[in-house]
């Protein structure tokens, strides 16, 4: 089963090309023009064991357009790579400590786009990354992947640690949720379809 996809998105605000392999080894080559975000996506791919290549350019107004549009395209890539979702584990929960912080990520590949967000950050910027864009990225991802995603920062002081924990935990949760479970016969839903 080939669960890889290459997509692109071009608007007046961004130009993005992306390749995703769900069954990779965690290799990535990320160039979003936002170095902190590149680092987070690199961690996401490594901990999810996804191969991910990203090339993105924005209009230079701010980071909003690139980060949100990357969430859109990455969500679409997951949705396409999963196909009819036959045999997947579907659900996952990950608690991830990052130094003094602890994050919880819950994922249901449900066909229903939902984001539940319980994260408080105390800084407007982490390097070149606008922290309010963290939620926008996850909204765009969840809606385009048609997944239910819950993200919670249970505690923590250092904003970098909190965000890093979220991306690592998200990668690990998705790795579990997209994994093929040999005990699952067909679509993991009593409806017979995930949509």
Cα–Cα distance measured from residue 152 to residue 113, given in angstroms and rounded to the nearest whole number = 17
User: All domains of the chain, ordered by start, with CATH?
Assistant: 4-178 (3.30.230.40)
Residue 60: the pLDDT is 76
Question: pLDDT tens-digit profile of 32-84?
Answer: 999 999 999 999 999 999 999 999 998 877 789 999 999 999 999 999 999 99
pLDDT class of 27 with cuts at 50, 70, 90:
very high
Contact between 5 and 52 (Cβ < 8 Å): no
Q: Averaged over 105-133, what is the pLDDT?
A: 96
CA dihedral 137, 91, 50, 194 (to 10 degrees): -80
Residue 106: the pLDDT is 98
Identify the sign of the CA torsion 147, 175, 43, 152.
Answer: positive
3-state SS class at 130: strand
pLDDT at 127 over 80: yes
Q: Please, what's the b/e burial string for 103-125 (b: 16 or more CB within 10 A of its CB; e: otherwise)?
A: bbbbbbbbbebebeeebebeeee
3-state SS class at 75: helix
Question: pLDDT tens-digit profile of 136-149?
Answer: 999 999 999 999 99
């Amino acid at each position: 089963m080939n669960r890889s996809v290459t997509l692109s998105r071009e608007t007046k605000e961004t130009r993005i090309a992306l390749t995703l392999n769900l069954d990779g080894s965690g290799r990535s080559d990320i160039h979003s023009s936002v170095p902190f975000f590149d680092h987070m996506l690199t961690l996401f791919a490594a901990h999810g064991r996804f191969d991910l290549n990203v090339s993105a350019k924005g209009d230079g107004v701010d980071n909003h357009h690139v980060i949100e549009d990357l969430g859109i395209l990455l969500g679409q890539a997951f949705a396409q790579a999963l196909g009819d979702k036959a045999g997947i584990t579907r659900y996952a929960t990950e608690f991830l400590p990052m130094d003094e912080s602890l994050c919880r990520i819950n994922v249901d590949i449900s066909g229903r786009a939902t984001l539940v967000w319980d994260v408080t950050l105390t800084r407007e910027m982490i390097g070149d990354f606008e922290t309010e864009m963290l939620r926008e990225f996850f909204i765009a991802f969840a809606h385009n992947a048609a997944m239910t995603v819950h993200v919670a920062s249970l505690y923590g002081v250092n904003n970098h640690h909190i965000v890093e924990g979220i991306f690592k935990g998200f990668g690990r949760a998705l790795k579990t949720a997209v994994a093929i479970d040999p005990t699952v016969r067909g679509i993991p839903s009593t409806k017979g379809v995930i949509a």
